[in-house]
Amino acid sequence: MNRHFTGRNLALAAALLVTASGARLAAADDLPKAEAILDKFIDATGGKAAYQKHHNEMATGSMAVPANGISGSLTVYHAEPDKSYTEINIEGVGKIMDGTDGKVAWSLSAIQGPHVKEGVEKADALRSARFNAEVNWRDLYKQAQTTGLESVDGKDCYKVVLTPNEGNPVTHYYDKQSSLLMKTTATLKNPLGEFPVESMLSDYRKEGEILVPHKVSQKAAGQEYSITIDTVKYNVEIPKDRFDVPDEVKALLNKK
């Protein structure tokens, strides 16, 4: 599963409140280059060759908002070069869907109806949908810079700011010892506005040859969200119409 899963498909969960946690600055000469940190992450999670063996993936799990007593099942499909589909089924609410066929980025839910993503929101969705984004990050970001050290859950992490070709910068926090990605922060845009986002990644376990985070915790404007991944399968048979734009979204496109 793409290690940017939280930034790619969990935009459905909500926009999140970024929390400060005592950044500790270090002299520029003491910090490794961002390129080296990102490449070490690839090595630590399985290596470039292992990633390149995969051409699609399917993940299943669950999502919950404990404070509201809301929970639901989660299914994610992802295929090269940049196709994705996420579906959350919440009891009493219905389906929440989000996806892209590589050209049209959209969302659809029983609550908000169909939505076509444009501008920065579309750019974020297409970048998040890039399959094997870990090994292709140089195609997605025009700049990567190590800006300091910060403690995340008691572990020293390198803070790496990634500036995309279009859209807002995102920040990744990599464990200094293990090289694993521990936290991400970003600003996401949706129909309600722009929101700061924070995701905590944990419970890394091997799926095939690659280490995958199986738990993600998020915070959003007073709410806390949790995502648990149960299964990840690679190179599976995906229904031919899985990434097709839904009819409701097509109708909205025709109106525009």
pLDDT exceeding 70 applies to what percent of the chain?
A: 88
Q: List the CATH number of the domain containing 149.
A: 2.50.20.10
Question: Whole domain around residue 42: which residue ranges?
Answer: 5-238+245-255
- What pLDDT is attached to residue 15? 34
- What pLDDT is attached to residue 196? 87
Q: What is the pLDDT of residues 27-55, one digit of tens each?
A: 555 899 999 999 999 999 999 999 999 99
Q: What is the pLDDT of residues 62-95, one digit of tens each?
A: 999 888 888 999 999 999 999 999 999 998 888 9
C-alpha–C-alpha distance, residues 148 and 165, integer Å: 23
C-alpha–C-alpha distance, residues 88 and 56, integer Å: 19
Residues 6+ apart with CB under 8 A from 24: 148, 149, 150, 151, 156
> How many domains are contained in the chain?
1
Phi, psi at residue 40, to the nearest 5°? -70, -35
- Chain CA centroid to CA 72, Å: 18
Q: What is the pLDDT of residues 165-219, one digit of tens each?
A: 898 899 999 999 999 999 999 988 777 778 888 999 999 999 999 999 999 999 7
pLDDT at 108 over 70: yes
CA angle 83, 88, 92 (to 5 degrees): 155
- What pLDDT is attached to residue 19? 28
Pick the range with the lowest mean pLDDT from 22-31, 59-68, 139-148.
Answer: 22-31
- What pLDDT is attached to residue 237? 97
Helix ranges (H only) for 90-223 are 119-128, 137-140
> How much helix, strand and coil, in percent to the nearest 5, is found in the chain?
20, 50, 30
C-alpha–C-alpha distance, residues 199 and 219, integer Å: 7
- Sign of the dihedral through C-alpha 117, 2, 10, 72: positive
- What pLDDT is attached to residue 79? 98
pLDDT at 120 over 50: yes
- What pLDDT is attached to residue 12? 41
Structure tokens at 58: 């399917």
Distance set, CA 67 to CA 12, 17, 46, 94 (Å)? 17, 16, 36, 19
- What pLDDT is attached to residue 6? 42
pLDDT at 9 over 70: no
CA angle 33, 20, 125 (to 5 degrees): 65
Residue among 23, 47, 44, 45 nearest 146 (CA)? 23
pLDDT at 22 over 80: no
pLDDT at 7 over 60: no
- Sign of the dihedral through C-alpha 200, 21, 11, 35: negative
Mean pLDDT over residues 126-155, rounded? 96
Unique residue bearing structure tokens 């999502």:
63
Q: What is the pLDDT of residues 160-169, one digit of tens each?
A: 999 998 988 9
Write down the mean pLDDT value for the chain: 88
Distance set, CA 203 to CA 7, 79, 155 (Å)? 17, 24, 15
Cβ(34)–Cβ(145) under 8 Å?
A: yes
Amino acid at 119: G
